[in-house]
Chains A and B, each alone.
Chain A
Amino acid sequence: MLKMTHLQKVYRTHLIETHALRDFSIHVRDGEFVAVTGPSGSGKTTFLNIAGLLEEFTGGEYWLDGVDVRGLDDNARSKLRNEKIGFIFQSFNLIPDLNLFDNVDVPLRYRGFNAAERKRRIDEALTRVGLASRMKHYPSELSGGQQQRVAIARALAGSPRLLMADEPTGNLDSLMARGVMELLEEVNRQGTTIVMVTHDPELAARAQRNVHVIDGQVTDFDEAPKLRDPDAASRGAEAVAANG
């Protein structure tokens, strides 16, 4: 699904070079739920941004779902993001001036679906996160946990193969965090690959696989998925297609 070998990322400012990732190699398979942990500034977000095609890298190789992304131009990267990847952010990043329906609609419009298809997907996604009844509400009218659920609905509505989450529970209290985590596990069970950055060791422990990043390098990771849900990895893409 996602394969990085000897990846490098150097940030250059006029004064200093920051090696945010050095010789970073990782392989995430279809259907996995991977938790990325590590100290602050170690390069977790950088990894996630590159994996999610939000940033370019300066060396090494990255294959996303069989595509070598090095040669892709900005439009191709946007299209790939739109079709294959769903994003969940620490601070939700819902658009405050749009109601829930229109928020979930955003990536679907960029996808070019027709109105009926979009409506069907929005209804389904919001139902899945338990907020279908609040479609006409605005984000400011929801709790943090509910907002993150909407963000998950938005990420899922386009049926991506891969879900990227950067500290999705970082702004939530533990009760709401648990709810969001359960939702993510449910999504993963239905076949979507998830890569989640987290500071919370308890949540990390619930993932099938842990990747520990220190100083821009993967220092420690479980080679094999934990056998909490043996079928998850093999179910893969068919489940996504079936669940839409």
Chain B
Amino acid sequence: MEIRPILSALMRSKVSMILIGLQVALTLAIVCNALFIIGQRLERMDRPSGINESDTFWFGSNGFAPGYEATSVQKADLALLRGMPGVVDAAPTNSLPLSNGGWGEGIGLQPNQKTSTAQTTIYLVDDHGVATLGTQLVAGRNFKPEEVQDITFGDNLRPRVVIVSKALAERLFPGEDAVGRTIYVNEDNATTIIGVVERLQQPWVDSDSIEFATLVPAFMPYGNATRYAVRTEPGRRDEVMKAVEQKLGETNTGRIIGRMRSMEQIRADAYSGDRAMAIILGTVIFALLAITALGIVGMASFWVAQRTRQIGTRRALGATKGDILRYFQTENFIITTLGLVAGAVLAYAFSLWLMQQYQAPRLPWYYVPIGFVCLWLLGQLAVLGPALRASRVPPAVATRSV
């Protein structure tokens, strides 16, 4: 409508216009990038580990008594655990997804390959591993009890059979059936894939090959240390955790039971940085939007108060209430649009800087137009109160005010 005269009037109070415009620009640039980062973090946090997390916990046992026999204790512990009420299954394992510590290994399709075909993690489990973790076997079979080797810590790993995650199977043998195929783990050790599980993540949430995991059938205490994963019946995890801690402590006093950690806790710890980042950025976004909205409300209120007589005069000259309302809405639209155009440039520049400084991915193009529309709406919403107040200025103000 009357954009031209509003714009020329605005040009006479440049400072306030520039301040609000700049605020809008910065808000757009920061909010777009912050939202994108939050989205990425949430996406990361949303990745399934591939195992049952709600009913599973993990703990270690550390022998200290002279003559402590870790391998036999381990087998006795497992038998005990599997017999306890509320326990669905239990398995030894050196590590778990999300636990942030584990064994990495290269896999080749030929012996002694110069560069491995894929980087995997090794989970050392027994024939109860698949059932305890709750990952789905989608091809092949599980380990047999007789396939589980006893390995001494420090020995070379020479598994005869392995189970791999589906993602790893597809990397190794794209479009083919991986079951029955030979791969080389640990340089020249030929081993046969006997099964594929639907999904199993590596322990490291930052890993580039997080979906590549290998289950190896082996008992291998680290010195006198052993670790167990236990899955309980749904809803009984906490109760079983307490019972296990007590029972295992009682049955063998030559060792210490380490801290019991539920998978829920392990996941929370693994992603604590991401969650903190999302919360901080969310707070920043909220604060910026609130400050911008309040800035607009404040500026518009000030202008309405300052121009009361002018509004009355316009009414006297024939402006309807709607005309006055639209005047302030249009004015806000002009200021936010100018700010948003600058903000769009700033948003992409900021994204570029993040890309260079932190190897961040490029801001998808649609964030800025969406932010544009949202801030337009925010601006219109913020100006609505003052604009309505302006529209209610009585025309008699034109002759009455001094």
Inter-chain contact A79/B395, CB cutoff 8 Å: no
User: How many A-B contacts at CB < 8 Å in the complex?
Assistant: 89
Contact with B along A119-141 (1 / 0, CB 8 A): 00000000000000000000000
Closest chain A CB from B324 CB (angstroms): 10
Inter-chain contact B396/A54, CB cutoff 8 Å: yes
CA distance A96 to B315 in the complex (A): 16
- Is A111 in contact with chain B by the CB < 8 A criterion? yes
Inter-chain contact A45/B400, CB cutoff 8 Å: yes
Inter-chain contact A110/B399, CB cutoff 8 Å: no
CA distance A99 to B316 in the complex (A): 19
- The segment from A31-39, A86-94, A173-181, A205-213 that touches chain B is A86-94
A74 to chain B: closest residue by CB: B321
- Which chain A residues border B322 with CB–CB below 8 Å? 75
Inter-chain contact A97/B399, CB cutoff 8 Å: no
Which among B309, B313, B323, B399 has the highest number of chain A CB atoms within 10 Å? B399
CA distance A212 to B321 in the complex (A): 34
Question: Contact check: which of B313, B317, B400 meets A82 at CB < 8 Å?
Answer: B317
A84 to chain B: closest residue by CB: B318
Inter-chain contact A106/B316, CB cutoff 8 Å: no
Inter-chain contact B5/A81, CB cutoff 8 Å: no
Inter-chain contact B318/A97, CB cutoff 8 Å: no
Inter-chain contact A110/B317, CB cutoff 8 Å: yes
Inter-chain contact A111/B321, CB cutoff 8 Å: no
Interface bin, chain B: 20 to 34
- Which chain B residues border A79 with CB–CB below 8 Å? 318, 320
Inter-chain contact A78/B319, CB cutoff 8 Å: yes
How many residues of chain A are within 8 Å of chain B by beta carbon?
34
- Is B398 in contact with chain A by the CB < 8 A criterion? yes
Closest chain A CB from B67 CB (angstroms): 95
- Is B314 in contact with chain A by the CB < 8 A criterion? yes
- Which chain A residues border B310 with CB–CB below 8 Å? 93, 95-96
CA distance A166 to B394 in the complex (A): 17
- Is A187 in contact with chain B by the CB < 8 A criterion? no
Known: A54-B395, A89-B399. A97 touches B321 (CB 8 A): no
- Is A102 in contact with chain B by the CB < 8 A criterion? yes
Inter-chain contact B402/A81, CB cutoff 8 Å: no
Inter-chain contact A49/B318, CB cutoff 8 Å: no
Inter-chain contact B399/A81, CB cutoff 8 Å: no
Inter-chain contact A107/B399, CB cutoff 8 Å: no
- Which chain B residues border A93 with CB–CB below 8 Å? 309-310, 313, 316, 398
Interface residues of B in 293-314 (CB under 8 A from A): 309-310, 313-314
Inter-chain contact B399/A166, CB cutoff 8 Å: yes
B13 to chain A: closest residue by CB: A97
Known: A54-B395, A97-B13. A102 touches B8 (CB 8 A): yes
Interface residues of B in 2-61 (CB under 8 A from A): 2, 5, 8-9, 12-13
- 5 interchain pairs (CB within 8 A)? A79-B320, A87-B313, A89-B398, A106-B314, A109-B5
Beyond A78-B318, A78-B321, A97-B13, list 13 extra A-B contacts (CB 8 Å): A49-B399, A54-B315, A54-B394, A55-B396, A78-B323, A81-B316, A87-B316, A89-B313, A95-B313, A97-B8, A97-B9, A110-B314, A111-B318
Name A residues whose Cβ lies closer than 8 Å to a Cβ of B. Answer: 45, 48-49, 52-55, 74-75, 78-79, 81-83, 87, 89-91, 93, 95-99, 102, 105-107, 109-111, 154, 158, 166
